Structure 1
Amino acid sequence: MSPRPWRLITALAITAAATACTAGNQTTTDSGPKAEAPQTIEVWHGWSAPHEVKAFEDAIAGFHKLHPNITVKLVKGQDDTKILNAIRSGTPPDVVSSFSTNNVGQFCSSGALQNLTPYLEKDKVNLSIFPKAVQDYTQYKGNRCTLPLLADDYALYSNKALMKGNPPPKTISELTALAKKLTVRNPDGTIKVAGFLPSVTYYEHVPEHIATTSFGGQYLNPQGRANFATDPAFTKYLQWEKSLLDWYGYDNVKKFVHSMGQEFEASNPFEKGKVAMGIDGEWRTKFMEEEAPKVQYDTSPVPVNDDRQNTYGGGFVTGTIIGIPRGAKHAQASWEFVKYLTTNTDALVTFANGLGNVPSTIPALASPNLKLPPQFKTFLDVFKNPNSTTIPSTINGGDFVVKFQSFVQDQWEPGKVPDLQKGLQGLDKKVNDSLQLAGG
């Protein structure tokens, strides 16, 4: 998968749409035409780059052979807001995939996506083919309304030429020192080449990829309430982030970010040699192959804070999810499609090879047919590492993620928070009030 900028907007927009969906999703596995009947199913997905669209088409080639009576119409570039608006209006597609595991709680609790457990039980699908972390982020409070469709994790990319012989950093202190050492400034002090940009406005340098992995931050406490002011990991993360940001100069970083190319285009600054080190997902290996084949680079686990060196090797794990919307008119054929795409090893390996994603089943992870570049091994190792983490799903999706990033981006980075502890306490209250309003 390659997440798109809508992922943070979606969590805000999704709540209003989800409230229009009837809570509770009673699933019947015999609704609509039989799977054997001639029919067309419409499948919405978020991929849009040419190699991504082709990868999806290649992955379902085997489905066409198994089910020649089912025509699959693929619709690219769809996000969660469009999906929920279609469900709310009573005109949903038959199958949807989403990049937003944060929204599983909303999808399941609102009934926007059907509970797949009856289908799984009817066809005796063994969930143990999915790693435990993957099983966890595809259900909410026992309602499994999604299944995993490939997985993503994050690591540190290093441009070999810009690293100048320095090995990839393993700790935050090493990362900070290298970021300063490798940064090249213009005569006026602005950034020409960045060693490492700490700002959350830089693509995948969002808090959940650093605050959790590097500093061990737990967004929610065991009672399911906001933990920003209580967990010291967030204070450590924010103080480090602001210190490095101030070293660069907030205005310099802002100017550099505004001058950057698009994340999912060949103008990406890492691909252009403008950034020495950056955190990114495994899909970047495919983009490097397609768009910057001459750039020599390494991958390594994301550095961890110096007091957490025993956790080095883990990373942030998430993935694409797939499900059947409430009101789908071809539910039985839709289930056959979902089952095939999420459990068939050949389909998953083909898809993973085409997208440069991590396969989401244990058999596919072990397949000798995986054809991925050497730099991809880091991501397979991170995915299996017991220190890898994700963030919990809630009834209002990724609202707490959005609120934290907004706090960092709009208040903390510009220097508008005179008292960090009070600021985090205020953030906790906003998150908890939102959870309570949503019924959590």
Structure 2
Amino acid sequence: MRFVPLAAAGLAVLSLAACTAGKEGGPALGSQSKPTNTAPTALPAASIELWHGFSADSEVKAFTDAIAGFNKKYPQIKVKLVKGVQDEQITQAVRGGRPPDVASSFTTDSVATWCKSGVFQDLNPVIKQDGVDLSGLPPVVNDYTQYEGKRCVMPLLTDAYGLYYNKALMKGHQPPKTLSELTKLAKELTVRNPDGTIKVAGFIPSGQYYENTAGHWSAMVGAKWTNPDGTSAIGSDPAWKTLLNWQKELIDWYGYANLDKFRKGLGDEFSGKHPFYQGKVAMGIDGEWRVAMIANEAPKLDYGTAPMPVDDAKPDLYGSGFTAGTVIGVPKGAKNPEAAWALVKYLTTDTDALVTLANAIRNVPTTKAALESPALKKDEHFQTFLDIFANPKTSTIPAHVNSVFNQEALQGFITSWEKGSVKDLDAGLKGVDKTIDAKFKLSGG
């Protein structure tokens, strides 16, 4: 899976807060005088375009292979794939009256805005009409594909986050289950040079390091993002204080300047020079897709995977984690909405299609049938993430019209906090609430 910088993804979200979707194209799903009919023999010949965010050759091939199954079922429908498309491009195309028939995003950050503004069509009518059973979806997936009663996207694949650890550097230790165990082991596994600089880090607690985002971390302490009315809960939920106090204690043990210098000298996250591959970091938080990258970029690495450590006071959270996934839907104005829905339904409910994508991209499929398919490639490393995804306590960032803004506000605060620029944590977190709530009010919340 590839990730979009929050600032880039935010362009679409911030511009859509008070706008509606663009010009009309084809009829809206479920608006016809007769029910939508997606039976293979009922649909006329059509050419449809699917935009997606994947760009690596292996990922593009995976989509092509999955589409091949659709072509066998619907030979009269031709599908053109357009790769490397980001959320803001989808939004602008819809607003400009030039939408694709189908669009996919590998972030859930825009879902609330897309549903609320109508950039993507509500799929509830055709889901009901076609008898698509969504009861098998985990609650967290059910939540991140809809907003305020509108399900404007379907889940395609998902990510789950856990702990990766280098077995050689672990020196026989088992992976930590609590934050206190993580702290203790991180200190024990850290190796310093004679001058005190870091040679090997047991664990890097900086929010500026790769996958150490507030969203991924929130699952370790069961932290809340929002209140029922959509306002920020960050300043009132003590779980955030638990998380940040834990983080700061470990950063201070390393020394912020020392740790920052070490971090800045590490290799790129998406390259063969990743510090975990090179034995420079013993443990780290990462997604299930790293399993495939290690197989390609560091096949001899002896490593293990485990759930993320959790708050000592909440041991029942162990085994869960953070999840967020790829979503797909039919934009407003799609020229061939019936054919578009047929493709969306096929890619998100057909077991063979989901397994084909999951095996190639090494993301977690979202349906029970795909998860249990004997064709799904599993090993001890990947199984960890299947188990995390299936855990009922696994969480995500709740759908919100300002999802990107909210994350950026908290992430920026965390950067100031770990540097030592924040003297009063309570006041600082309440300040984050104030910033988020002011933006929410401007967005009509």
TM interval, shorter chain, is over 0.9
1:420 to 422, 425, 434: 425
Between the aligned partners of 1:24 and 1:439, the Cα distance in structure 2 is 23
Does the CA contact (< 8 Å) of 1:215 and 1:236 recur in 2?
Answer: yes
Between the aligned partners of 1:373 and 1:206, the Cα distance in structure 2 is 27
Does the CA contact (< 8 Å) of 2:17 and 2:443 recur in 1?
Answer: no
Matches within 5 A, 1:346-365: 346-365=352-371
2:159 to 152, 156, 160: 152
What one-letter code is carried by the residue in structure 2 that aligns with 1:50? D
Between the aligned partners of 1:218 and 1:71, the Cα distance in structure 2 is 44
Between the aligned partners of 1:345 and 1:76, the Cα distance in structure 2 is 23
Between the aligned partners of 2:247 and 2:320, the Cα distance in structure 1 is 20
What one-letter code is carried by the residue in structure 1 that aligns with 2:190? T
Shift of 1:191: 2.4
Matches within 5 A, 1:326-345: 326-345=332-351
Between the aligned partners of 1:186 and 1:92, the Cα distance in structure 2 is 56
Deviations 1:103-150 (A, max 9, x none): 211010011111111221232212224223211210001100000001
Deviations 1:141-193 (A, max 9, x none): 11000000011111100111111211111111111111111112233333222
1:437 aligns with 2:438: no
The secondary structure found in structure 2 opposite 1:158 is strand
Residue 43 of structure 1 corresponds to which residue in structure 2?
A: 50
Matches within 5 A, 1:27-42: 27-29=28-30, 36-42=43-49
1:189 aligns with 2:212: no
The secondary structure found in structure 1 opposite 2:9 is helix
Instruction: Classify 1:13/1:29 alpha carbon distance in 2 versus 1 (closer, same or farther; 3 Å).
Output: closer
Residue 21 of structure 1 corresponds to which residue in structure 2?
A: 20
1:63 to 58, 67, 70: 70
Shift of 1:28: 3.2
Shift of 1:229: 1.7
Shift of 1:19: 3.9
What one-letter code is carried by the residue in structure 2 that aligns with 1:6? P
Q: Where does the alignment leave 5 or more consecutive residues of structure 1 unmatched?
A: none
Between the aligned partners of 2:10 and 2:131, the Cα distance in structure 1 is 33
Does the CA contact (< 8 Å) of 1:106 and 1:395 recur in 2?
Answer: yes
Shift of 1:324: 1.1
Between the aligned partners of 1:254 and 1:371, the Cα distance in structure 2 is 38
* Farther off after superposition, 22-31 or 400-409: 22-31
Instruction: Classify 1:262/1:70 alpha carbon distance in 2 versus 1 (closer, same or farther; 3 Å).
Output: farther
Residue 298 of structure 2 corresponds to which residue in structure 1?
A: 292
Matches within 5 A, 1:136-285: 136-210=143-217, 212-285=218-291
Shift of 1:60: 1.8
Between the aligned partners of 1:74 and 1:131, the Cα distance in structure 2 is 29
Between the aligned partners of 1:120 and 1:419, the Cα distance in structure 2 is 49
Instruction: Classify 1:39/1:33 alpha carbon distance in 2 versus 1 (closer, same or farther; 3 Å).
Output: farther
Shift of 1:11: 2.8
Residue 411 of structure 2 corresponds to which residue in structure 1?
A: 405
Number of aligned positions between the proteins: 437
Between the aligned partners of 1:5 and 1:100, the Cα distance in structure 2 is 8
Deviations 1:215-235 (A, max 9, x none): 121111233221122111111
Shift of 1:33: 12
In the superposition, the TM-score normalised over structure 1's length comes to 0.94
Shift of 1:83: 1.6
Residue 6 of structure 1 corresponds to which residue in structure 2?
A: 5
Deviations 1:374-415 (A, max 9, x none): 211111111111221112111223322221111112x21222
Between the aligned partners of 2:221 and 2:37, the Cα distance in structure 1 is 51
Deviations 1:34-71 (A, max 9, x none): 97333322211112222222222222220111112222
Does the CA contact (< 8 Å) of 1:302 and 1:314 recur in 2?
Answer: yes
The secondary structure found in structure 2 opposite 1:102 is coil
1:109 to 116, 122, 134: 116
Between the aligned partners of 1:261 and 1:74, the Cα distance in structure 2 is 33
Between the aligned partners of 1:128 and 1:260, the Cα distance in structure 2 is 44
Does the CA contact (< 8 Å) of 1:38 and 1:69 recur in 2?
Answer: yes
The secondary structure found in structure 1 opposite 2:364 is coil
Residue 372 of structure 1 corresponds to which residue in structure 2?
A: 378
Deviations 1:200-223 (A, max 9, x none): 11111111111x222121111233
Instruction: Classify 1:17/1:198 alpha carbon distance in 2 versus 1 (closer, same or farther; 3 Å).
Output: same
1:99 aligns with 2:102: no
Between the aligned partners of 1:45 and 1:259, the Cα distance in structure 2 is 33
Residue 121 of structure 1 corresponds to which residue in structure 2?
A: 128
Q: Over aligned residues, Cα RMSD in angstroms?
A: 2.2
Between the aligned partners of 1:182 and 1:308, the Cα distance in structure 2 is 25
Between the aligned partners of 2:332 and 2:423, the Cα distance in structure 1 is 47
Between the aligned partners of 2:317 and 2:429, the Cα distance in structure 1 is 26
Q: Alignment identity in percent?
A: 51
Does the CA contact (< 8 Å) of 1:29 and 1:331 recur in 2?
Answer: no
Does the CA contact (< 8 Å) of 1:151 and 1:320 recur in 2?
Answer: yes
Between the aligned partners of 2:423 and 2:92, the Cα distance in structure 1 is 40
Matches within 5 A, 1:293-312: 293-312=299-318
